[in-house]
Structure 1
Amino acid sequence: MLAMFMAAIEATIVATAMPAIVAELGDFSLYSWVFSSYLLMNAVTVLIYGKLSDLYGRKPVLTFGIVVFLIGSILCGFAPSMEWLIFFRFIQGFGAGAVMPIASTIVGDIYTKEERAKIQGYLSSVWGISAIMGPALGGLLVEFVSWRFVFWLNVPLGILAIIGLYLFLHENVEKKKQSIDFAGAVLLTLSVTSFMFILVEGGVRWEWISFPIFVLLVFSLFSFLLFILVERKAKDPMMPFDLWKKRSILIANLTSLTTGVILIGLSTFLPTFVQGVMEEPAIIAGLTLTTMSIGWPIAATVAGKSILKIGYRTTSIIGGISLILGSIIFIILKSNDSPLFAATGSFLIGIGMGLTTTAFIVSIQSNVNWNKRGVATATNMFMRNVGSTIGAALLGGILNTQLINYFSKHGVEDTLNLDSTAMLLDQSQRNHLSEEGRVLIQDGLSYALNSVYWVVFLFAIISFILILFLPKGDKAD
């Protein structure tokens, strides 16, 4: 629970601090890379850690992940520029890949099938506690100390988690010959990274139809095809495709991919809207995000009981409806609306995520044996992380492109650019803008973010359609 808490608080506290970070370090065009770099390493390493935990046990792998995560966190707090921050976030993400999936896998190990649904719901309450504390602490630290302490807050939590792990977790692991699919990991990293460059820089640094975009696209597809070939021949593949042959696991993994886009769309860009367009302080922006993580554990606790009564499919369908309702609120959100309205949409997204993710994890763990449980759990989280990674790049690219188009359409591209938007995110800088300039930048940011939320809505619809394909009559009994 301590390890989960550390990872969960990271998700909300950094998003709350990002407007302050970009206001100080500049380079608004790199905004989404701060999330993408962390998520990329998290996504790619999660499957390796899952496999390693099946081979060597959960304790040593989780400990290694926490240590690397803490090193990255300390370095992030010292970052002198956006480029260095992005690099340090790579390190942080490299460690984070071990935390959530292995913590969830440990739950699958130490509880019976009947207990697992209920306990997974209870453990999700960690997200609720961290959700309340994360944005509130993030807002307070940004307002009264410095955004750098947002990263250093992880250090005592991580140390406590390691101490608790060695005091209380006792496991007997049958040692096996090492067989890790590093080739698959490298190929997947290359494929996803090059695809992210296309999404973030397309229409901003390079034209969509240009030689660099074409080269990156070919390279991304070629790497992905090689990844599939390597996985099919590997002795112990990073992503065992035989797991995907069961329909419930296939649909759960595909839906986790699409809900990952929704999750990052909200957590990355909602604070920007609340601070930049609504002109609310960081702590209010954090609180609008908090409601998502309050809704998540409430729904997860309910899901733990409901999947025993009405099954995985019905529980997931209710979650899918909630995701659609939440995304509709963000489509119609305006600058003069109350932050409470934004918080309501955030809460509904949290309800949807809580219902679907809990149902998926319990369903997957009930359908595999111990020696596959680590990699099966990690595969599902991997898909959500890949969705968030691609989502951060895709939505960040849309935001940048739409802002540039808006400034160009109003004939101010010579005086306003992407970095002008960063001035909205700091109150002192905002006060130095002329009334006309401030309104123009705010309207441009609102216009660009509205485009982002239309894409989030589209992914909510896709998620709901996928859920409908889950097999009927599948209960945790």
Structure 2
Amino acid sequence: MGTATLERQEVKQASPNKTKKPLVLAAIMLAMFMAAIEATIVSTAMPAIAADLGGFSLYSWVFSSYLLMNAVTVLIYGKLSDLFGRKPILTFGIIVFLIGSLLCGMATSIEMLIVFRFIQGFGAGAVMPIASTIVGDMYTKEERAKIQGYLSSVWGISAILGPAIGGLLVQYVSWRFVFWVNIPLGILAIIGLYLFLHEGVEKKKHSIDYAGAGLLFVSVSSFMLVMVEGGVRWEWISAPVFSLISLSLITFIFFILQEKRAKDPMMPFDIWQERSILIANTTSLTTGVMLIGISSFLPAFVQGVMERPPIVAGFTLTTMSIGWPIAAMIAGRLLLKIGFRTTSIIGGVALILGSIIFMTLSPDDGPVWAAFGSFMIGVGMGFSTTAFIVSIQSTVPWQKRGVATASNMFMRTLGSTIGAALLGGILNSRIQEHLRENGALDQFSLDSTTLLLNEEQRNQLTESMRVLLQDGLTSALQTVYLVVAGFAVISFLLILLLPKKNEENGNS
């Protein structure tokens, strides 16, 4: 069966009753914008939330709880969308996300907020992969490349609007509206999906792999719990860490055994036998580490070392989200002319150039140079991720497209979670080593570095204290960026392993 025939059949299967593509695309972009803006808008509001609710020691869990549930559910939703269709599963995800958002805005303690963020993340796991999968269903390969560029632009717009909207709501209304602003967007997205998306899902009795879903959930949850709390709440060599890692490994082995014998497996391992999918997913893991390395620690460098205000630190990160959609739109046009592999290689080169800028970044370079490095990382991500998604969706049939798309996003989220723990540990140990070398451990602790992030507290430090802390933060961040550069090189080498000729006719 030829590529064109397969594409026509799949588009027909996905939309038999004259699905109104532009209106469905608008609904999908609304849903994606709702989930994308959540990251930037909550980051902006968190200082105000922490000041109101207290519990600063649990600050990171407000983000980790959302990320954790997002990661552990993404594959499950991908598979369910292949079984029951995209519309009901995406609608369910949006509704759960909106319930979580409503509750988050009503939280009266940081513990309550963390629980409600779990609910929000539980719904968010459905939004990104299924939105991208619907595009894969509705459009042919030629159209798909261009439309993925439009979807990527959602991230750029949310990155620019998120901090602005968050800042205005916190300053003039209340931080609670940061969560409630999602509700009208989600309702509009649901209405759009129900009115304009018509799917031709084959009616048959499905055997749902509940055991596989449960084992995957326990395995990933326990592993991510170690990543988030290891070295913070528990020592790396301790009973809780050892127990959770053992639980994660045992349940993962049982998950693999379960998937091999399940009639309708949650994760069909045969998709990983496709070389292009295996390479794309492995590279997404390494670029996920890079992504969290830049976005988590760049503001600390700009505020603490360059002594610039938070708004400037925000600008240096925003350029990444501007470079990403621009590159994604260019990649969409290039894919059909030069192929997935060459487009991905361009992205790999941009990632290396961006990481070199960060590796050599000094306090004297200024925020504009840091912003350029951030922009180059965004360009690299735009080229590579667009090529990966379109390549994956062109390699598998409709029945596996949901879980194949979700597997790629799962690997990137997993990479970010591993990266947050790995790079955070490197940062802390380097700062501690610097303080020890300068005999300042009795005077300062790791937490003293936060004094640099507040202008008022920084100005109260003596010149020698300030220089000591800034030198420690600078050398620690340069070590972090050296590791990020290492992951950029690994990502580039992996991209070179992509097949030169893409199998364009899937499993036909």
TM-score (norm 1): 0.90
* Correspondence list, 1:316-465, <5 A: 316-465=344-493
CA distance in 1 between partners of 2:171 and 2:475 (Å): 27
Counterpart of 1:308 in structure 2 is 336
| Deviation at residue 237 of structure 1 after TM alignment | 1.8
Residues 57 and 5 of structure 1: CA distance in aligned 2, closer, same or farther (over 3 Å): same
* Aligned equivalent of 2:219: 191
Question: Which aligned pairs between 1:14-413 and structure 2 lie closer than 5 A?
Answer: 14-18=42-46, 32-79=60-107, 83-141=111-169, 148-413=176-441
Closer/same/farther in 2, CA of residues 148 and 279 from structure 1, 3 Å limit: farther
Asked which structure has the greater CA Rg, the reply is 2
Relative distance call for 1:145 and 1:272 in structure 2 (3 A) is farther
Which AA in structure 2 matches 1:44?
V
Q: 1:10 to 1:447 in 2, by over 3 A?
A: farther
Q: How many Å apart are 1:345 and its aligned residue?
A: 1.0
CA contact (8 A) 1:15 1:271 kept: no
CA distance in 2, matches of 1:72, 1:398: 34
CA distance in 2, matches of 1:98, 1:193: 17
Displacement of 1:141 after TM fit? 4.7
Query: 2:242 & 2:387 partners in 1: Cα distance?
Result: 40
1:472 alignment partner, one of 476, 492, 500: 500
Helix, strand or coil for the counterpart of 2:500? coil
Q: Distance in 1 between matches of 2:300 and 2:176?
A: 18
Secondary structure in 1 matching 2:205: coil
Q: CA deviation at 1:376?
A: 1.3
C-alpha displacement at 1:64, in angstroms? 1.6
| Contact 2:347–2:383 (8 Å) recurs in 1 | yes
**Structure-1 separation of matches of 2:259 and 2:381:** 30
Question: What are the superposed Cα offsets for residues 150-171 of structure 1, whole Å, 9 maximum, x if unpaired?
Answer: 4333233222222222232222
- How many angstroms apart in 1 are the aligned matches of 2:115 and 2:304? 26
Deviates most, 287-296 or 84-93: 84-93
Which consecutive residues of structure 1, in runs of 5 or more, have no partner in the other structure? none
Q: CA, structure 1 residues 293+93, in 2 after alignment: closer, same or farther (shift >3 Å)?
A: same
Deviation of the 1:110 alpha carbon? 1.3
How many angstroms does 1:318 deviate by? 0.7
SS at 1:170 equivalent:
coil
Q: Deviations over 1:293-323 (max 9, x none)?
A: 1111111111111111111001001101111
Q: 1:328 deviation in Å?
A: 1.7
Whether contact under 8 Å (1:66, 1:99) holds in the other structure is yes
Instruction: Give aligned-pair identity as a percent.
Output: 74
> Secondary structure at 1:124's aligned position in 2?
helix
179-188 or 236-245, which moves further after superposition? 179-188
461-470 vs 13-22, greater mean Cα deviation: 13-22
Give SS of 2:497's match.
coil
Letter in 1 for 2:324: W
User: Matched residue pairs, number?
Assistant: 477
8 A contact 1:46–1:98 mirrored in 2: yes
Tell me, in whole angstroms, the C-alpha distance in 2 between the residues paired with 1:264 and 1:413. Answer: 29
Change (3 A) 1:274 1:13: farther
The structure whose RCO (Cα within 8 Å, separation 6+) is larger is 1
Residues 407 and 33 of structure 1: CA distance in aligned 2, closer, same or farther (over 3 Å): farther
The structural deviation recorded for 1:216 is: 3.3
* Greater mean alpha carbon deviation, residues 72-81 or residues 286-295: 72-81
Quote the residue 2:33 is aligned against: 5
Q: In the aligned structure 2, how far is the partner of 1:55 from the partner of 1:425? A: 49
Residue type at the aligned position of 2:423: L
Inter-CA distance 271–381: structure 2 relative to 1 (3 Å threshold):
same
Q: Distance in 1 between matches of 2:181 and 2:435?
A: 38
Which range moved further: 84-93 or 52-61? 84-93
Deviation at 1:92, TM superposition (A): 1.8
- The 1:157–1:417 alpha-carbon spacing in structure 2 relative to 1, beyond 3 Å, is farther
RMSD: 2.8
Distance 1:149 1:222 in 2: 42
- Is the alpha carbon distance of 1:323 and 1:86 closer, same or farther for their aligned partners in structure 2, counting shifts above 3 Å? farther
Give distance in 1, aligned partners of 2:179 and 2:118.
14
Name structure 2 gaps, 5 residues minimum.
1-28
TM-score (norm 2): 0.85
Instruction: Rate the CA distance shift 1:106–1:415 in 2: closer, same or farther, 3 A.
Output: same
SS in 1 for 2:263: coil
In structure 2, C-alpha distance between the alignment counterparts of 1:334 and 1:140, rounded to whole Å: 32
Shift of 1:17: 4.6
Cα distance in 2 between the residues matched to 1:31 and 1:368: 41
1:342-400 deviation line (CA, Å, top 9, x unaligned): 11111111111111111111111111111111111111111112112222232233334
